[in-house]
Structure 1
Amino acid sequence: MEKCYHCGDDCTSTIVDFDEKKFCCNGCKTVYEIFSTNNLSYYYDIETSAGATPNIVEGKYDFLDTTDISEKLLEFKDTNIQIINLYIPHIHCSSCIWVLENLNKLNQHISNSQVDFPKKTVRISYNPESISLKEVVLLLTHIGYEPTISLEDYNNPKKSTNNTLLYKLGIAGFAFGNVMFLSFPEYFDLASSAKNGGEFWLNKYQDIFRWIMFAFSLPVVFYAAQNYFISAYKGLRSKLLNIDVPIALGILVLFLRSTTEIILQWGPGFFDSLTGLVFFLLLGKFFQQKTYSFLSFERDYKSYFPIAVTRILPNKKEETAPIHDIKKGDKILIRNEELIPVDGVLISPISRIDYSFVTGESEPVTKVSGDKIFAGGKQLHSAIEMEALKTVSQSYLTQLWSNSIFKTNKTSRFQSITDSIGKRFTIGVLSIAFLATLFWLFYNPSMALNVFTAVLIIACPCAIALASPFTLGNMLRIYGKNKFYLKDTYTIEQLAKIDTVIFDKTGTITTAKKSTASYEGYSLTKEEEALLKNTLRSSNHPLSRSLYSMLSEQNIVTLDAYEEHLGKGIIGTKENATIKIGSASFVKNTSTKDAKNTSVHISSNDAYKGRFIFKNEYREGVSNLFSKMSKTLKLAILSGDNSGEKSRLEKLLPKLTPLYFNQKPEDKLEFIKSLQDQGKTVMMVGDGLNDAGALAQSNVGIAISENVNVFSPACDGILDATKFQELYTYILVSKKAMNIIKWSFLLSLLYNIVGLYFAITGQLEPVIAAILMPLSSISVVAFTTIATNFLGKKLR
């Protein structure tokens, strides 16, 4: 029978011929035509017959034209860009990802689309002035990727749980229990004994009991176990052997053999083993799901970022408040380069906001007083005030941090090892199963089926596949509890391979909270002092924040203009007065020779006024930390400041530690790149602002946080400043976490070797194998959880 070129289904009633290809319906033909005319026919090269038949119901999505409804679904809304995150159940292979991330070729008004494969979602950015949300959804439906839209899920995201696994587990457990009871006469071999009514049972109830067991097995096979068959089918159709192939094969063989036995009255079959297998498989999956969702919950919602926000009190005083304490109606101060943590209304006259974290569009957006501004935007230029419209969504900020816009082409070594082992393991298991069955068919045919099913059931690579995600997932949670916040599990893997660590100086190994400064120069007028204070108020640089806290109180005013030049300085303008704050060259200081100290120079209306000379206070434990790290790692300091602190640093740091001063942001980036060209694996530790380029270039970029709301998607982790001296301990723990994964692989391998021995020799019944297989998965999860928790206790 002809197969549809697009979806792979049988062309039963009608065959649609187009472009020398066969299609099962006009819908599939239309999708093919859309892809081919838009240069997307590569879709079929990646995965043959990967599509789905489009199912379009006229008027189904008319409700999306209602503004109130569509706004509840949108993740972000602005004049020329909107973002929607849609759940698409049909996403199943690489072709799906490829075509969904090329939607802009189907419609030019779609600027970007990103697929989250595990969650089966696509995040689409589009221009609402040219294409509506309804048209976006219809486009997806026309190409066979109809989204599932539920307003209930969007309004109550915490309530939108999928209980399908629970239902399947309940059905499998109910069937397993009843089949076991119905099998008791078979277990006690009543058929061979006339005692205790055995002959009566044999004559009257034996066939009834067997057919009842068959009836109980039907919902187990065709509902509870359907995901194993679907996954195996999709894998085989894509010419891939996934870990569900041997499981599905084992279930199918058990069911067909058992059904054949009762039809031909050869025996009772293996319905107890069959229902037990599915029940214990689902029980193991349920346990895994609950454990992993617990880890994800802690990571997403439990005070993820160690950042705070400046809240303005009714008496105009400013205080630093934990980000999760922000409530609706609070007034918030957002400085230059700070992330807007919550949706709100702009109070200040004007604002320039960079929404590239959210939308991927680098062009800043201008907002005026009264406009709504969205969480995830970054304020540019001078400080603004806003009023919060809702509480902070930590999970949303986490999503921004993990946005694929900022992901580089880094590959996960241990994840690829897991995938590779899983594939080879499946091939090996199938080979062993068929060879062992072939042997028993010649030696003792009655044992062949038991051996075949036992091998398929006992030797499953599920446990191997679980080792990495559970180990690294739990480590993310443990690091978070210890105020070390990593972007993803890949960062832990990279952290374990670090051999070189580069440190910034100001704001990284020094602390702004304990710094002192003295002023040298001409006295400032009251107007200059007020302008100086308000200009510093807009900046997030560690020296700016330190100096701001030292200066006397001034009336808060809105600057007419504000500029920040990374690595150089800042400029503030109010009416006809302009003040420059920064390095000597930035403020054009030619009359005074720069002192060999960390200095911030001031000029007013291009007239040099003087400088603040800082005495840096180094973080507690810096010397001890560098001493420990130098034993196994290469170290270096890259500082944008002058060399005034060189002699002091040389006393604190191990001998011959390279020190580089007057480094611009681009110099730091090139330095790290040169080390990587030499084969080094580099970690950059910086303040997250001036060091963004270096953090992005490094293999692992860590930003030090002192409760400052500076968000840098370039960094891979945020370290609370109070835990700075524990940095080396975190690196060592990551190496031990990798060892836990290796031990888990070994544990699973040893289990499978032992299990396969008993299965091949015919000493293992399928029902026992069905119990042992999920227990092996649970044992690996338990081992990784206990081992990583033990590491966590060491951290505390």
Structure 2
Amino acid sequence: MSKDSCFHCGLDASTSNITFDGKPFCCNGCKTVYEIFSENDLTCYYDLQQTPGATPKDIEGKYNFLENSKIIEQLLEFNDGETQIITLYIPHIHCSSCIWILENLNKLHPSINASTVNFGKKTVRVTFNSTTLTLKNLVELLSRIGYEPFISLDDYSVGKKHIDRSLIYKLGIAGFAFGNVMFLSFPEYFQVGEFWLEQFKPMFRWLMFAFSVPVVFYSSQDYFISAFKGLRSNILNIDVPIALGVTVLFIRSTIEIILDLGSGFFDSLTGLIFFLLLGKFFQQKTYSFLSFERDYKSYFPIGITKINHDGSEESIQVYDIEKGDRLLIRNEELIPVDCILIKGKAKIDYSFVTGESKTVSKQSGDKLFAGGKQLEGSIEVDVLKSVEQSYLTQLWSNDVFKKDKSLAFTNITNQISKRFTISILIIAFIATTYWLFADSSKALNVFTSVLIIACPCALALAAPFTFGNVLRILGKKKFYLKNASVIEQLAKINTIIFDKTGTITANKETSISYEGLKLSNHEESLLKSTLRGSNHPLSRSLYKLLDEHDILTLDTYQEHLGQGIEAKYNNQNIKIGSAPFVGNTSEVSTLNTTVHVSTNNQYKGKFTFYNAYRKGLSHLFNTLKKEYDLAILSGDNEGEKENLTKLLPTKTKLLFNQKPEDKLEYIKYHQTEGAQVLMIGDGLNDAGALAQSNVGVVISENVNVFSPACDAILDASKFNQLYNYIKTSKTAITVIKWSFVLSFIYNIIGLYFAVTGQLSPVVAAILMPLSSISIVAFTTITTNILCRNLE
């Protein structure tokens, strides 16, 4: 960095005469940012990268509209009167320094609780205390440190920038210039006679130069910027050879026309950039078409219970929720929409949204926000607005729940691209050196052709396009994966662990019998009201069995994971669950799952469940056993052990009376032994085990099983297809490997013709995007063919 450069942003500071702490600054804005960082011990921001900042703009009065409460309400993602969350689009995010400073905003202001950057989308999600820091103050703080947000008031949306049409503009200019340069080159192509040579040759050559200037300095700027940033970070990315080739072509062509040595290579230059951008445009359009998020929004199967006008209950999918609907939210269920509490006592955990584990109590008439989790029985709410499916997508992908699950194939792709670029540069320089001595007229063409023809773009495209298409296909088959890394992890698993109740058993087909003292009408009403608040599969089955009763608003409700439920109404207590939990110590083990009931500490009796296992269970386990270690971890007693032993293959591990923490520890232990674990549960008591496993899958029926701890959701009707879905993930990895092989073969053949001087740069420019298109076509068509037999 020059001694006359601004220490913060790198601009010329020779005439500003502004210094602080012995460092030059181009303006008071940059000096202020440095002072803020110094006061808060954040000057290591400058250690990550020299001059990473942007010059702050004059923002006085610019954000006064953020004092309008109606506008603020539309912009905020979450607002409970104290904690507010907003996602802001920050165009200036461009490097590791940006990420670091924006994720340490809490050090700049104590009212900022957390901030998370999405580098790809250039957004920062900020959670802050609105009682001590207003939204306007937050935006002004970001602007003062050089990260001014883009806020659109056209539709009161934030984090949504205008559609980026720059690629279309660059492609249009490159295409226009390429066509004209080719037209102006025709006379020399066909050796037109003396009139051309004497009168118009200089003018046509300089016109070709003029057309090439905007192509090089505008249309191809992304390649130069990417190459520069890569080199500055000591990384040889795939844009380095392209930028080098364009530079050499432009400089050599310009020198030729200045010295009247020839017409240069402006046709090859403009054609190269045009076809590169055309390939890039095709990739963007294709990947947009394969967008997983779009299909995810269409197929996501979260269910919620709607209360009709006649009091009846029905399960609907969340995207069918409309404003004004009455919803029943049970214990441990997530609230899918912003709503008003009508009935019941709400104790809401907003940690899914804010990352903070404290709970908030709400009374009738209070507003509840989407993403909160009800923790104290059931409540009834009126919907304020329909569900934003993209919000649920964001919630599922919240960084709060992310684990470090390796992205092996993505890393392999990056490593191959890096080594490939180094190899190509070496080959290009060796081949050029040879031709300088053998035939100097071919040296430039060889150098440029090698750099262009062997670009590893095809390698980089293989994984994202394959995974994108597989995600789309599996989504249509009702197997919903969180992201591409789940496919990679699914292909590696060697151990599969199942929960029992609600996972391998079908709740709808379970039969129940009661044995014990007759329950009074009031006790049955209390029992049904208590069961109404629970999402456990046994509770749901028993709730549907009981006769209609008046629903009571419980005074207290508590669900003990792995044990049971207790509730209180007026002076009457009820306990439902295992025999020890309700106080029955004389219970003898039975061959079936049982749920016991006691009221006011008096044991009443038990409900016996005759489990019906899911269709195709035995065949599925026998198929899986050939390749995987299988285990069933159940919180129930050993009553079903004999039936399962007959039903399942030998050596299937069966463990009963497993508490949630026992399941988690079992998975953790086997992972230390080298196991790659797939955990399949119902999403209720299994959250810890699902999060600990390499891949966690939740089985979904008609209730809200949404769990941020899981990596995938499988529709219960497709349970018997589990092996085929795992096999599909392995197929995806195989397709990627074949794509690598095809790309290497293509590059070897292309390099042969380039090194031997038989390939012109413009032909190489046409072939390079064609190779990328061929890889995209191969991965898309192959995955479609290999997945066509999925049910």
Relative to the length of structure 1, the TM-score reads 0.96
Matched, 1:641 2:643: no
Q: 1:123 — aligned with what? A: 125
Q: 2:450 — aligned with what? A: 455
What secondary structure sits across from 2:509 in the alignment? Answer: coil
Residue range with higher mean Cα deviation, 177-186 or 698-707:
177-186
1:145 partner amino acid? Y
Residue of structure 1 aligned with 2:72, choices 70, 73, 89 = 70
Q: 1:527 — aligned with what? A: 522
**Any residues of structure 2 matched to 1:249-398 within 5 Å, and which?**
249-296=244-291, 299=294, 302-398=297-393
Q: 2:593 — aligned with what? A: 598
In structure 1, how many angstroms separate the alpha carbons of the residues matched to 2:429 and 2:342?
Answer: 73
Q: For residues 98 and 313 of structure 1, do their structure 2 counterparts lie closer, same or farther at Cα, with a shift above 3 Å needed?
A: same
In structure 1, how many angstroms separate the alpha carbons of the residues matched to 2:415 and 2:36?
Answer: 36
1:409 partner amino acid? D
Q: 1:694 — aligned with what? A: 689
Q: Once the 2 structures are TM-superposed, how far is the Cα of residue 536 of structure 1 from its aligned partner?
A: 0.6
In structure 1, how many angstroms separate the alpha carbons of the residues matched to 2:156 and 2:621?
Answer: 49
In structure 1, how many angstroms separate the alpha carbons of the residues matched to 2:10 and 2:419?
Answer: 27
Q: Once the 2 structures are TM-superposed, how far is the Cα of residue 240 of structure 1 from its aligned partner?
A: 2.1
**Any residues of structure 2 matched to 1:509-548 within 5 Å, and which?**
509-548=504-543
In structure 2, how many angstroms separate the alpha carbons of the residues matched to 1:386 and 1:113?
Answer: 31
Q: 1:176 — aligned with what? A: 178
1:791 partner amino acid? L
Q: 2:752 — aligned with what? A: 757
What secondary structure sits across from 2:434 in the alignment? Answer: helix
Q: 1:193 — aligned with what? A: none
- Which deviations, in whole Å up to 9, do the C-alpha atoms of 1:19-49 show, x marking residues without a partner? 4444444433333333233232332333333
Q: Once the 2 structures are TM-superposed, how far is the Cα of residue 301 of structure 1 from its aligned partner?
A: 5.0
Residue range with higher mean Cα deviation, 569-578 or 647-656:
569-578
Q: 2:232 — aligned with what? A: 237
In structure 1, how many angstroms separate the alpha carbons of the residues matched to 2:342 and 2:404?
Answer: 40
**Any residues of structure 2 matched to 1:410-489 within 5 Å, and which?**
410-489=405-484
Q: 1:47 — aligned with what? A: 49
- Which deviations, in whole Å up to 9, do the C-alpha atoms of 1:439-459 show, x marking residues without a partner? 222322222211121122112
Q: Once the 2 structures are TM-superposed, how far is the Cα of residue 428 of structure 1 from its aligned partner?
A: 1.8
In structure 2, how many angstroms separate the alpha carbons of the residues matched to 1:261 and 1:459?
Answer: 27
Q: For residues 133 and 541 of structure 1, do their structure 2 counterparts lie closer, same or farther at Cα, with a shift above 3 Å needed?
A: same
What secondary structure sits across from 1:659 in the alignment? Answer: strand
Matched, 1:213 2:208: yes
**Any residues of structure 2 matched to 1:501-650 within 5 Å, and which?**
501-650=496-645
What secondary structure sits across from 1:183 in the alignment? Answer: helix
1:440 partner amino acid? W
What secondary structure sits across from 1:205 in the alignment? Answer: helix
Alpha carbons 2:344, 2:380 under 8 Å: kept? no
In structure 1, how many angstroms separate the alpha carbons of the residues matched to 2:579 and 2:104?
Answer: 50
Q: 1:684 — aligned with what? A: 679
In structure 2, how many angstroms separate the alpha carbons of the residues matched to 1:42 and 1:185?
Answer: 60
Q: Once the 2 structures are TM-superposed, how far is the Cα of residue 17 of structure 1 from its aligned partner?
A: 4.1
In structure 1, how many angstroms separate the alpha carbons of the residues matched to 2:426 and 2:45?
Answer: 32
Q: Once the 2 structures are TM-superposed, how far is the Cα of residue 298 of structure 1 from its aligned partner?
A: 5.2
Q: For residues 9 and 433 of structure 1, do their structure 2 counterparts lie closer, same or farther at Cα, with a shift above 3 Å needed?
A: farther
Alpha carbons 2:698, 2:710 under 8 Å: kept? yes
- Which deviations, in whole Å up to 9, do the C-alpha atoms of 1:418-437 show, x marking residues without a partner? 11112222222222222222
Q: 2:715 — aligned with what? A: 720
In structure 2, how many angstroms separate the alpha carbons of the residues matched to 1:477 and 1:298?
Answer: 9
Q: 1:28 — aligned with what? A: 30
1:486 partner amino acid? L
1:69 partner amino acid? I
In structure 1, how many angstroms separate the alpha carbons of the residues matched to 2:784 and 2:569?
Answer: 56
Alpha carbons 1:152, 1:160 under 8 Å: kept? no
What secondary structure sits across from 2:85 in the alignment? Answer: strand
In structure 1, how many angstroms separate the alpha carbons of the residues matched to 2:750 and 2:185?
Answer: 26
Q: Once the 2 structures are TM-superposed, how far is the Cα of residue 460 of structure 1 from its aligned partner?
A: 1.1
1:132 partner amino acid? T
Q: For residues 237 and 153 of structure 1, do their structure 2 counterparts lie closer, same or farther at Cα, with a shift above 3 Å needed?
A: farther
2:688 partner amino acid? G
Residue of structure 1 aligned with 2:191, choices 189, 192, 199 = 189
Q: For residues 301 and 638 of structure 1, do their structure 2 counterparts lie closer, same or farther at Cα, with a shift above 3 Å needed?
A: closer
Q: Once the 2 structures are TM-superposed, how far is the Cα of residue 86 of structure 1 from its aligned partner?
A: 1.0
Q: 2:166 — aligned with what? A: 164
Alpha carbons 2:339, 2:368 under 8 Å: kept? yes
- Which deviations, in whole Å up to 9, do the C-alpha atoms of 1:181-221 show, x marking residues without a partner? 2211121122xxxxxxx222222222222222222222222
Q: For residues 299 and 567 of structure 1, do their structure 2 counterparts lie closer, same or farther at Cα, with a shift above 3 Å needed?
A: farther
Q: For residues 129 and 471 of structure 1, do their structure 2 counterparts lie closer, same or farther at Cα, with a shift above 3 Å needed?
A: same
Q: For residues 375 and 493 of structure 1, do their structure 2 counterparts lie closer, same or farther at Cα, with a shift above 3 Å needed?
A: same
Q: For residues 674 and 711 of structure 1, do their structure 2 counterparts lie closer, same or farther at Cα, with a shift above 3 Å needed?
A: same
In structure 2, how many angstroms separate the alpha carbons of the residues matched to 1:591 and 1:493?
Answer: 50
How many residue pairs were aligned? 789
Q: Once the 2 structures are TM-superposed, how far is the Cα of residue 618 of structure 1 from its aligned partner?
A: 0.4
- Which deviations, in whole Å up to 9, do the C-alpha atoms of 1:768-791 show, x marking residues without a partner? 011111111111111111111123
Q: Once the 2 structures are TM-superposed, how far is the Cα of residue 347 of structure 1 from its aligned partner?
A: 1.5
Residue range with higher mean Cα deviation, 380-389 or 608-617:
380-389
In structure 2, how many angstroms separate the alpha carbons of the residues matched to 1:301 and 1:594?
Answer: 45
Residue of structure 2 aligned with 1:732, choices 724, 727, 737 = 727
> Percent identity among equivalent residues?
66
1:573 partner amino acid? K
Residue range with higher mean Cα deviation, 439-448 or 156-165:
156-165
Q: 1:106 — aligned with what? A: 108
In structure 2, how many angstroms separate the alpha carbons of the residues matched to 1:792 and 1:396?
Answer: 30
**Any residues of structure 2 matched to 1:775-794 within 5 Å, and which?**
775-794=770-789
- Which deviations, in whole Å up to 9, do the C-alpha atoms of 1:128-186 show, x marking residues without a partner? 11111111112222222222221236549999532221222222212212222221112
Q: Note the residue ranges of structure 1 that are not aligned, 5 or more in a row.
A: 191-197
1:130 partner amino acid? T
In structure 2, how many angstroms separate the alpha carbons of the residues matched to 1:163 and 1:301?
Answer: 26
Q: 1:82 — aligned with what? A: 84
For the aligned residues, what is the CA RMSD?
1.8
- Which deviations, in whole Å up to 9, do the C-alpha atoms of 1:585-642 show, x marking residues without a partner? 1111135435342000001111111110000000011100000111010011111000
Q: Note the residue ranges of structure 2 that are not aligned, 5 or more in a row.
A: none
In structure 1, how many angstroms separate the alpha carbons of the residues matched to 2:419 and 2:7?
Answer: 30
Residue of structure 2 aligned with 1:707, choices 688, 702, 705 = 702
Q: Once the 2 structures are TM-superposed, how far is the Cα of residue 349 of structure 1 from its aligned partner?
A: 4.7
Alpha carbons 2:88, 2:159 under 8 Å: kept? no
Q: Once the 2 structures are TM-superposed, how far is the Cα of residue 691 of structure 1 from its aligned partner?
A: 0.7
- Which deviations, in whole Å up to 9, do the C-alpha atoms of 1:475-512 show, x marking residues without a partner? 11111111111111111100000000111111110111
Alpha carbons 2:431, 2:755 under 8 Å: kept? yes
In structure 2, how many angstroms separate the alpha carbons of the residues matched to 1:181 and 1:224?
Answer: 20
In structure 2, how many angstroms separate the alpha carbons of the residues matched to 1:375 and 1:690?
Answer: 22
Alpha carbons 1:262, 1:268 under 8 Å: kept? yes
Alpha carbons 1:515, 1:616 under 8 Å: kept? yes
Residue range with higher mean Cα deviation, 753-762 or 22-31:
22-31
Residue of structure 2 aligned with 1:139, choices 124, 138, 141 = 141
Matched, 1:93 2:101: no
Q: For residues 117 and 158 of structure 1, do their structure 2 counterparts lie closer, same or farther at Cα, with a shift above 3 Å needed?
A: closer
